[in-house]
Structure 1
C-alpha cells in the first residue's frame, strides 16, 4: 500500500474528492429520520454507516468524512439525547477510520466534521460562546480520535465559520471550511461568500469554498468568484439538484409535474426526487469546476455513490469501482458490439 499522504500533499498532487451526502443517503436507505436529521445511525446501525462510508470511498472519495453533521449539543438537546453526544461523535470517527484502512491502494484520509448550529446570532454574545463551546468539544474528540483534518461546513454566517476555524486551529488540525449560501446570495451577517472565503483563508484555513443548498447551476458562479478572490485551495460541493436563478437553493424548488398532495409545503426534503441532475450534468459541472481551478470536489445532500464516481472520473481519477461505470457496448438494444443480435438492434427505436 502507498504511504498515506496528508490532505495538503494530496492537494499539491492534484484534485481531492470528498464524499458527502450521508444525511439524505442514509435516510433513503432507511436508517435516519428526515426532519430531525440526527445521525444516530452511528450508534444504532453502525454497519449501515460503515457501508455508506465504504460505498462513497469505493466511488472515488479520497476522504472518509465522519458522519457527525448535526451531532452537536443543540441538536442532541432537542431530541433529548445529550447523553449520547460524545459516544455518537467518537463512534462515527472510529467507524470512518476502520473503513479508511480498507482502501487497497492508499489509506483514505479521515475527516472530523462540525457544521452550522442554527443557534448562532450575531447580535447575541451568549450564543457565540455557546457555539464556541459546542465546536470545542467536538473538535477535541476529533483530535483524540486521530482524524487527519476537520471539515467545518454549511455555515451561513461568516463569524460562525471563523469560530469553527479558530477551534480547529486550537487543536492543531488542518481545516476545510465551506459555506452554505442562501437565496439572498449573501451570507446572513452581510459578507459576500468570496470575501468570507478570502478572510477565512487569510486566517489559516487550508481549503475554503462552498457546500450544500445550491445545485451546480447556481453554485458555480459564486465558486468562480471565490477562485478569483483566493490564492489557496478552493472547494465546491453542490447538491445534485436542478436549482435555478429563480429558485437558487433546494429549499424551495417546485415540482410542476407532481399530481399528489405533498405532506410538506415544499419539495424539500423528501419530495426532491424528480428534480435531480443526471450523472452527466454532474460530470459536466465537475469538469467546469476543475477547469477554473477548483481543488477539492464533492457533492452534498442528495448525492449517491454513482454520482460521486462521475465527479471523480471527470476530474481525472479512477475510482475503485470504476470497473462498474456504464458501458453500453453489449446492451441488447443499444450496444454496438458485433456479437449482438441484429433484429434487436433494428427494434431499438420502437422499444
Structure 2
C-alpha cells in the first residue's frame, strides 16, 4: 500500500531530528552535503529510527535548495544532493514497510526580520528545483516543514499540489501556543492548508511536546485531512557554546497517547529528538487507531482595547495646527540628574511640545531614557518622545521595552538603529542588531494591532506613533525619494532629521516629498552652535552632520570678535525661518546641556505661532 492509502487509517510514527544527530560534524557546514561525503552516517541514522519504530523517515534535504546551499558554494549541487538523500533513505527502508518522504524546509524566518531575506520569486524558483529533484528520485510523499510564514507555505504548497498526486504533509512553526506569528489561530491556518490540498497539516519545531499538545486543544478534527505533531525535545539550552536539549527520551512516552487523544494521526520529532524519543512514543501508545471525536477548547478571546488615557495631545495632531517644537535633552552619563531636570523645567516654561530622549547616543552608557521619560511624564507633566535602538536590545529586550512604553502611557517614539558600539566608551561592548530600524517600526505597528513579535495576543492594542530618522546631509538629497517611501511604507508616522546648516535642504526635501508622494510630517533638526571649535567638531567628527563653508566662516569670525554664542543663535533662527516656510516641525538639540539656548529658540518658534494666529 502507498502512503496515501495508509494515512488516516491508523496512527503513524515518523522519525526525529536529523540535524541533532549530525551535530558532531560541525555547525559551519552543510548537513545536506553529508549525503555525498558521509552517506554511511546518514544511512545509520535512518536505520536507527526504523529500528526505533518509525513508519516514516525523512530525507536529509531540509536545506537542500539553491538558496541555502549557496551559503556553502554548493548551489549547483541541488539535484545531486537531493537524489543522493532519497537513495540513502531508500536503502535504509529496504525490506521494511517504512515510507520515505522528501523534506523541504521553509526559507522565511521569524517576522521577516533579516535584511537580506530572499524575495518570493527566488524562494519559488529554489523550491521548484528541489521539488522536482525529489519527485524524480521517487519519494513516497513530501514534507514541507518549519514554515513561520504562512503565505510562503501556501505558495509552495499550491506549486507542489499541482506537480504531484503524492501525499503532502505541511507543518507550520509557532512561537506562541495556538497562534502563528501573524496572529492567526492555528486552527484557521491548518484549515487553509487543508483547503489548498494538503493531506497532512500540523506543527513542527520551536515548541516542546507540552505546548504542542496545548496548541492542538483548539484544533478540531478535520475532514479528509490528518493532523501531525513534530515537537522539539524541549526548549534548547546553551552549554559551552553548544545547543543542547535536556529532556530525557522517556518524557515522550506519555505524549504519543496524548497526541492521539487530540486527534493527531502522524507523530514525530524535531530538534533535539533522537531514536530514543521515537521509541518512547511507540512504548507509550495504548492504541494506533485514530479517534473521531474530541473536545475542542477555544482559544481565549481577550478583548483588545485601545488605551484612551492620555495626558497630552499627540504630536502629529499639534503639527497639523501649529509650529511644533521638540527638544532633545541628552540623558546624563552619571547619576546626577540635577541639570537635566532643571533644563526640562525651563523648557516647559517656554512651551516645548515634547522632550526627546536618546537611547545611549554615540554608544555611551547613560541613564535609562525610559526611566527619565516616566519621570518627565508623571512628575513634570511633560510629553516625552523616546528613542529606541536596535543596537542595544535583542528581540526579547525590544519586545519588553515596547510593552513597558505602552504601560507607561508613552506612545511617541523614534525607531533607530543606533551608532555602532565600537564608537562608544565601552571597549569590548557588542552591537545586537537582531533587526533593523525598518523592522523595529513594523514591530511597533504590530503592537498597535494587539500582537507581539511572535504573534501572541497581547490583550490590548497599543497606540504608538513612530518616528524614523532622516539624514538630510547626504549627497544628492534629491534622490532620497525611494528611501522616504520605504520608511513610510514600513509604517513611519513622522520623520526626525539630523541637524541641518544649509537652508536650501528644506526646499529640496519639500520637492522630494512631493515628487515621491510622501505625506507624513517632518521635524527638521536644528542645533545652536556655541563656538567655532564646536562647529569644526560637528563638521569633521560627527557622522551625519555637515556645516556649510559660510556657517564655519561666520563662526570663525565670531570667535575673533568674541560673540560666538550670539552668532550661533542667529544662524539657528535663520534656519528656523527657512523651515517654517515649508514645514511645521522643529527639532532642537541641546548642546552640552546649555538648555537656555534651546529655550530661547523654543520661545522664538512659539512667538511665530502667536503672530500667525493674530494674522488670521
TM over 0.5: yes
Q: Is the 8 A contact 2:178 2:218 kept in 1?
A: no
158-167 vs 44-53, which moves further: 158-167
Which among 113, 117, 123 is matched to residue 131 of structure 1?
A: 123
Alignment-derived partner of residue 542 in structure 2? none
Alignment-derived partner of residue 118 in structure 1? 108
Alignment-derived partner of residue 201 in structure 2? 208
* Cα distance, 1:13 vs structure 2: 2.8
Which among 289, 305, 314 is matched to residue 284 of structure 2?
A: 314
Give CA deviations for 1:144-185 in whole Å, capped at 9, x if unaligned: 111111000010111111122112212212210001112486
- SS of 2:103's equivalent in the other structure is strand
Q: Is the 8 A contact 1:235 1:296 kept in 2?
A: yes
Matched, 1:24 2:11: no
143-152 vs 306-315, which moves further: 306-315
Query: Judging changes above 3 Å, is the alpha-carbon distance between structure 1 residues 65 and 135 closer, same or farther for their aligned structure 2 residues?
Result: same
Matched, 1:12 2:4: no
Alignment-derived partner of residue 62 in structure 1? 55
Structure 1 segment 102-251 matched on structure 2, within 5 A: 102-103=95-96, 106=97, 108-118=98-108, 127-172=119-164, 173-183=166-176, 186-226=179-219, 228=220, 230-231=222-223, 232-241=225-234, 243=235, 250=236
* Cα distance, 1:316 vs structure 2: 5.0
Alignment-derived partner of residue 294 in structure 1? 264
- SS of 1:8's equivalent in the other structure is helix
Q: Is the 8 A contact 2:216 2:262 kept in 1?
A: no
* Cα distance, 1:240 vs structure 2: 1.1
Which among 250, 253, 258 is matched to residue 283 of structure 1?
A: 253
Q: Is the 8 A contact 2:177 2:214 kept in 1?
A: no
- TM norm structure 2: 0.43
- SS of 1:57's equivalent in the other structure is helix
Query: Judging changes above 3 Å, is the alpha-carbon distance between structure 1 residues 6 and 314 closer, same or farther for their aligned structure 2 residues?
Result: farther
- SS of 2:264's equivalent in the other structure is coil
Unaligned runs of 5+ in 1: 244-249, 264-269, 319-351
Give CA deviations for 1:249-273 in whole Å, capped at 9, x if unaligned: x4xx5x7xx7xxx43xxxxxx2324
- SS of 1:271's equivalent in the other structure is strand
Q: Which has the higher contact order (CA 8 A, sep 6+)?
A: 1
Q: Is the 8 A contact 1:158 1:191 kept in 2?
A: no
Matched, 1:88 2:81: yes
- SS of 2:19's equivalent in the other structure is helix
Give CA deviations for 1:247-299 in whole Å, capped at 9, x if unaligned: xxx4xx5x7xx7xxx43xxxxxx2324x22x2332111111111121100111
* Cα distance, 1:309 vs structure 2: 0.8
Q: Is the 8 A contact 2:206 2:232 kept in 1?
A: yes
Task: Give, in whole Å, the separation in 1 of the partners of 2:199 and 2:71.
Answer: 33
Q: Is the 8 A contact 2:8 2:265 kept in 1?
A: no
- SS of 1:204's equivalent in the other structure is coil
Alignment-derived partner of residue 325 in structure 1? none
Q: Is the 8 A contact 1:20 1:299 kept in 2?
A: yes
Give CA deviations for 1:51-87 in whole Å, capped at 9, x if unaligned: 1011101111111211101111111111222122221
User: Which entry has the higher C-alpha Rg, 1 or 2?
Assistant: 2
Query: Judging changes above 3 Å, is the alpha-carbon distance between structure 1 residues 119 and 179 closer, same or farther for their aligned structure 2 residues?
Result: closer
Task: Give, in whole Å, the separation in 2 of the partners of 1:38 and 1:59.
Answer: 22
* Cα distance, 1:37 vs structure 2: 5.5
Task: Give, in whole Å, the separation in 2 of the partners of 1:313 and 1:208.
Answer: 24
Task: Give, in whole Å, the separation in 2 of the partners of 1:310 and 1:285.
Answer: 9
- SS of 2:21's equivalent in the other structure is helix
* Cα distance, 1:24 vs structure 2: 0.8
Task: Give, in whole Å, the separation in 2 of the partners of 1:54 and 1:21.
Answer: 13
In the comparison of the two structures, how many residue pairs are matched? 284
- SS of 2:101's equivalent in the other structure is strand
Task: Give, in whole Å, the separation in 2 of the partners of 1:68 and 1:10.
Answer: 24
Q: Is the 8 A contact 2:173 2:203 kept in 1?
A: yes
- SS of 1:42's equivalent in the other structure is helix
Unaligned runs of 5+ in 2: 289-616
Query: Judging changes above 3 Å, is the alpha-carbon distance between structure 1 residues 35 and 315 closer, same or farther for their aligned structure 2 residues?
Result: farther
Which among 199, 219, 243 is matched to residue 271 of structure 1?
A: 243
